[in-house]
Amino acid sequence: MKARALLFAAASLAWGALAHAQAGNVAASMDSHRDIVLAVANPIDPPPTHAGSSLLGYAPSGNYGAGQRAASTLAALQRNYRWSRLVGWPIKSLDLYCIVLEPPAGTSRDALLAALARDKRVQLAEPLQNFSVYSSDQQDARKYNDPYVDLQRGFAETSAGLAQTVTQGADVDVAIVDTGADVAHPDLKGQIRDVHNLVDDDASAFDRDHHGTEVAGIIGAIADNHIGIVGMAPKARLSVYKACWYPPDSDAGARCNSFTLAKALAAVMETNARIVNLSLGGPADPLLSRLLQGVLQRHIVIAALPPDGRLGGFPADVPGVIVVNSSGSSLDPPGVLNAPGRDILTTQPDGGYDFTSGSSMAAAQVSGIAALLVSLDPDLGGHAIHDLLTRTSKAAGGVLQVNAAAAVAALRHAAPSNHD
């Protein structure tokens, strides 16, 4: 029995090592028209103890990987269906082990999905899907020495300077699931406390990524440093999870997929981040929706409205997510907040600044405002924040949109209430 236990432990560690090695470069090579995400149950039971046994070879709890049941199930399934495994990773919070697989030659993806759906050993099987980031192109307010603050349209229209006389979002952790970001940017250096590259091992590409740099700047650019702009919550603490990347020789913008987003959400779920910014989206995805439901139990999730205005895709389709539209858009779905998203000045890689547009930027504005509110009342939940921002929205340029100062004032003077 001891020999068998040691052998299984070594196999489990090997699975984990293989998954890590493969994940480094495989995401960008996945094919959303071909590949499948599959999940099997992965309960990890503590090994039995025996007198005099040191149980050497068992991975510690921190190295959660494929348990014996998951490994055996996947091996049996692979023999049955003859797929090619591209990568695997555990999702501890759901007790699942997931893989991305390529159907065997001569077998269509739809046929294999249908067969897997009937197989009781399979917890979930779905097409690998692609996602994309959404970008296109005061009186008594706090005064800053940042030279471009007067050019920040969103900062001015939401009265952020007035709100920041009360709070700047201190001690609120914000997770940004996006592309990479320029952590050395003069307006972001020190603001981004940790980074997680879930796409590849290319640190240089991480620092050159535009979209994540733009979102991070809107939320948390440093204030009063005589440089650039001011973030909506300049004292918030940012974490960047790179789940999206820019395909080479493509002008279509950054893309993500089910694999990279699942890893990012699972990682965020294990943190103390209060706010999660998802300036991205795509089709409905059962695995990602299930993960996001878990995230919503402890975190406030803010997402961008898709360009077509439909709420049927991930992450906008998950109840409890705060969805944000760019003010002035012809789209106006019920329950969606409006925030400035056109010609927003923000940080760019290599220490630069430029104007950018899209609901991605509007969502980032709301994530920053949410950080201001949570710093005043750490018990606030997503529903309370959505209701507060809806009630305190004000007309700006003929459009009703969120207002940071009004929301902060209403929260400070509100009677104790349900914070759900």
Model pLDDT for residues 136-190, shown as the tens digit of each residue: 654 567 788 889 999 998 999 999 999 999 999 999 999 999 999 999 999 999 9
**CATH architecture for segment(s) 133-413:** 3-Layer(aba) Sandwich (3.40)
Spatial separation of the C-alpha atoms in residues 257 and 27, rounded to whole Å: 8
Model pLDDT for residues 126-137, shown as the tens digit of each residue: 999 999 988 765
Which pLDDT belongs to residue 64?
55
What burial class does residue 78 get, using C-beta atoms within 10 Å of its C-beta: 0-12 exposed, 13-18 middle, 19+ buried?
middle
Spatial separation of the C-alpha atoms in residues 309 and 9, rounded to whole Å: 49
Cα separations in angstroms, 16 against 82, 90, 169, 316, 331: 21, 8, 38, 32, 45
Buried b (16+ CB within 10 A) or exposed e, 204-222: ebbbbbbbbbbbbbbbbbb
Can you tell me whether residue 233 is helix, strand or coil?
coil
Token pair for 333: 């779905």
Q: Residue 286, Cβ neighbours under 10 Å: how many? A: 14
Model pLDDT for residues 69-124, shown as the tens digit of each residue: 999 999 999 999 999 999 999 999 999 999 999 999 999 999 999 999 999 999 99
Spatial separation of the C-alpha atoms in residues 36 and 112, rounded to whole Å: 9
Please, are residues 225 and 257 in contact by the beta-carbon 8 Å criterion?
A: no
Supply the DSSP string of 246-282, one letter for each residue: --TT--S--EEEHHHHHHHHHHHHTS--SEEEE-EE-
Q: What is the 3-state secondary structure (H, E, C) of 53-98?
A: CCCCCCCCHHHCCCCHHHHHHHHHHHHHHCCEEEEEEEEHHHCEEE
Token pair for 398: 């003929």
For residue 378, is the peptide bond before it cis, meaning its omega torsion is within 30 degrees of 0?
no
184-200-323-361 Cα dihedral, nearest 10 degrees: 30
Spatial separation of the C-alpha atoms in residues 306 and 314, rounded to whole Å: 9
Which pLDDT belongs to residue 137?
54
Instruction: Report residues of the chain scoring pLDDT below 70.
Output: 1-25, 45-64, 136-140, 250-251, 415-420
* Helix-strand-coil split of the chain, %, nearest 5: 35, 20, 45
- Residue 4's φ and ψ, nearest 5 degrees, are -65, -40
Which pLDDT belongs to residue 419?
58
- Taking the domains of the chain in order of start, what are their residue ranges? 2-128, 133-413
Residue with tokens 């080479």: 248
Can you tell me whether residue 39 is helix, strand or coil?
strand
β partners of residue 146: none
Spatial separation of the C-alpha atoms in residues 220 and 233, rounded to whole Å: 5
Please, are residues 241 and 269 in contact by the beta-carbon 8 Å criterion?
A: no
Which pLDDT belongs to residue 17?
43
Buried b (16+ CB within 10 A) or exposed e, 46-75: eeeeeeeeeeebbeeeeebbbbbbbbebbe
Cα separations in angstroms, 407 against 206, 213, 323: 35, 26, 17
Tell me the Cα Rg of the chain: 23
Token pair for 53: 């046994």
Supply the DSSP string of 350-385, one letter for each residue: TTEEEEEBSHHHHHHHHHHHHHHHHHH-TT--HHHH
Which residues, 6+ apart, have CB-to-CB distance to 270 below 8 Å?
92, 93
Helices (H) and strands (E) in the chain, counts: 12, 19
Supply the DSSP string of 110-161, one letter for each residue: HHHHHHHHH-TT-SEEEE--EEEE--B--TTPPP---TTGGG-HHHHHTTHH
Spatial separation of the C-alpha atoms in residues 28 and 200, rounded to whole Å: 8
